[in-house]
Structure 1
């Protein structure tokens, strides 16, 4: 459950409000404490408005990767540019739909940080601020419905890859002759100057991970973790650092009501909520987030200096990609 969020441009726009956390939905059952939390999370339950108020702010390396809004603009442009190619082969693709509000970048880098949020979600990923459970469910269903309209023939043309048979005994759908490399999607990404975006994002993310690794070994971080851990021990909880608490297997194996506040996750147990509350209080008492952010920012600045030429090139490609995308989208809206 160590969250490393980043904007990703993919071939399909799937489940806008929950995509970032869908892969973590393995906590829906399993062995463990069989006590159930039967709180009734209604679809229209009041929204938690402060899930990220105390989350880490921007890091130096954030300047080298697109924001969520910029990524959305690029996705929109790619969809527009793919249109003529799809039409040429007599297929269609769902119209571009802007994703709803998302979880801020780095919001859970050190685990949860806001009491109001953990009292509802525990350690489970929260819905974006301002989103109700009802809205999240509706967004999931709408995205799934759009995905079901995509035919194998359209997918073969759009992606440039053979589509396996959907049913046993069925036939695969081959890519028609003349489809560009990478399909209409690949061609559109090249036209949008986005064909190197994924590689550039990987380069920046690699530096993020490197900075996180050296930060963890920094004497200041080690001392900070010890202070946080000592605070948790006063509450009868033993964890070496915040991510160890967030990653506790108990939260994924304890049986609780499946009707949780987030439609993709079961309800948190009372123990999970109590632990998360103590965690957030200890972060506040030790100044954990701000101090860890400062230490990690320092390590990132060192890496930026060492990789100046590479990052300058990445930033230049990002700038040109976004400018191109904005131009395409502006023309599409006329």
Structure 2
């Protein structure tokens, strides 16, 4: 049986991403204002391609204005050029090596639960822009497809963290005590308080916020909403259905061993119409190209900060690789 997660659960990374901007200055990375009132004229985008309102059963595929949407549902935007999941994974593994040394110095062992094996991930396109693939929503509705669990082996139980390990590993903000997690990060990253991944997330959140306030995206949202209303579904924008708890599952029982009910016929019906309306209104083409235009503007605005952060990450990755090689 294939399991799935609701997109609003999968979208926790988007909540974190947008919170980055909410708890940071609205002036962006280098002091340039990022509010809608001060961002100036809306950036230009190429004319929308004709034929985008075609058969929704055929995958969306287009390239323009710095945005690329592929038939497999993947999306590339200008800030993606600065991302490197491989480098981020090397960094967290290097930090784990240093954290283990710190814990051993305190007479403790770092439990597997706290050993990082992969770097942070940016939200996937369907979290940012809503469901895209007609075939997928016919099966999963507003759920994120998750591969079936390996039934040949039982997962190891999550190891409990003892109070002593917790005190040694984590910071204590009240007392100002620094734990091994922070010590490892500081040793590897030095004085780099704003790593490249964080800058990318900040600029991504700003570009999404700016695009959401852009007149062209608002118009596309209104057209999508009107299209949905014609089919009897009242939603103001394409991100709302995946958060509609009155729709998701809609009374179906939760199967044994699952944590969610399967998508109901009603949920699938809405999701199918959602994708069709996106195609009819060229919503995905509009929002990705507008977002790309803002990202390109922010890249130009913060080119120095991005360049310096890239150089810092290169140095940090080099140091992390040395740590990992020595730990073999």
Q: Same fold (TM over 0.5)?
A: yes
| 1:242-274 deviation line (CA, Å, top 9, x unaligned) | 11222324235843322399x443322221111
Among 57, 70, 79, which residue is 1:61 paired with? 79
In structure 1, distance between residues paired with 2:179 and 2:250: 44
Among 271, 277, 288, which residue is 2:272 paired with? 277
Stretch deviating more after TM superposition (230-239 or 189-198): 189-198
Q: 1:279 Cα deviation (Å)? A: 0.9
Q: Could you say which residue in structure 1 is the equivalent of 2:236?
A: 240
Q: Could you say which residue in structure 2 is the equivalent of 1:166?
A: none
SS at 1:316 equivalent: helix
| 1:188-231 deviation line (CA, Å, top 9, x unaligned) | 11222177466654443332222222212323212322332333
In structure 1, distance between residues paired with 2:152 and 2:172: 31
In structure 1, distance between residues paired with 2:259 and 2:245: 18
Q: 1:79 Cα deviation (Å)? A: 1.1
**How do residues 241-260 of structure 1 correspond to structure 2 at under 5 angstroms?**
241-251=237-247, 254-259=250-255
**How do residues 172-321 of structure 1 correspond to structure 2 at under 5 angstroms?**
182-193=178-189, 196=192, 201-251=197-247, 254-259=250-255, 263-321=258-316
SS at 1:125 equivalent: strand
C-alpha root-mean-square deviation of aligned residues, in Å? 3.7
- Structure 2 segments unaligned to the other structure (5+ residues): 1-7, 17-69
SS at 1:192 equivalent: helix
- Return closer, same or farther for 1:294/1:208 CA change in 2, 3 Å cut-off: same
Q: Could you say which residue in structure 2 is the equivalent of 1:75?
A: 92
SS at 1:126 equivalent: strand
In structure 2, distance between residues paired with 1:189 and 1:222: 41
SS at 1:71 equivalent: helix
Q: 1:93 Cα deviation (Å)? A: 1.4
Q: 1:154 Cα deviation (Å)? A: 1.6
More strand by share: 2
Pairing 1:124–2:153 present:
no
In structure 2, distance between residues paired with 1:194 and 1:254: 51
| 1:53-81 deviation line (CA, Å, top 9, x unaligned) | 553512222344x4443332222111112
Q: Quick check: 1:260–1:267 contact (8 Å CA) kept in 2?
A: no
- Structure 1 segments unaligned to the other structure (5+ residues): 9-51, 163-174
Among 142, 158, 170, which residue is 2:169 paired with? 158
Pairing 1:112–2:131 present:
yes
Q: 1:275 Cα deviation (Å)? A: 0.5
In structure 1, distance between residues paired with 2:223 and 2:209: 20
Q: 1:91 Cα deviation (Å)? A: 0.9
Q: Could you say which residue in structure 2 is the equivalent of 1:94?
A: 111
Among 159, 164, 169, which residue is 1:147 paired with? 159
Q: Could you say which residue in structure 1 is the equivalent of 2:45?
A: none
- Give the TM-score normalised by the residue count of structure 2: 0.67
- Return closer, same or farther for 1:92/1:208 CA change in 2, 3 Å cut-off: same
How many residue pairs align between the two structures? 264
SS at 1:266 equivalent: coil
Q: 1:151 Cα deviation (Å)? A: 1.9
